[in-house]
Amino acid sequence: MSISNEAVSELISKGLPDAIVEVTGDGYKYEAKVICSCFEGLNTLKKHQLVYAAVDSAITSGDLHALTIIALTPEEAV
């Protein structure tokens, strides 16, 4: 099973409502660029943990196999 780029984006957006989310992928490997003010003051690991928490249901179900995360604050994204 796989999940669409849009579905991955929706999961992240539900978990991080203020985020700007761009997801690309081929049905197996995905890359998510997530820009959110909620990342302020967090290290990379903590940022990634927030994104992984948002997509946990898809990972647990086996629909989402590989996710590369680029997690940035709005200031880092400019």
Domain positions in the chain are 18-77
- Are 20 and 36 contacting, i.e. CB atoms less than 8 angstroms apart? yes
pLDDT score at 1: 66
How does pLDDT run across 11-60, given as a tens digit for each residue? Answer: 999 999 999 999 999 988 999 999 999 999 999 999 999 999 999 999 99
Exposure letters 53-63 (e unless 16+ CB within 10 A, then b): ebbeebeeeeb
What CATH number should be reported for the domain whose range is 18-77? 3.30.300.90
Structure tokens at 2: 């796989």
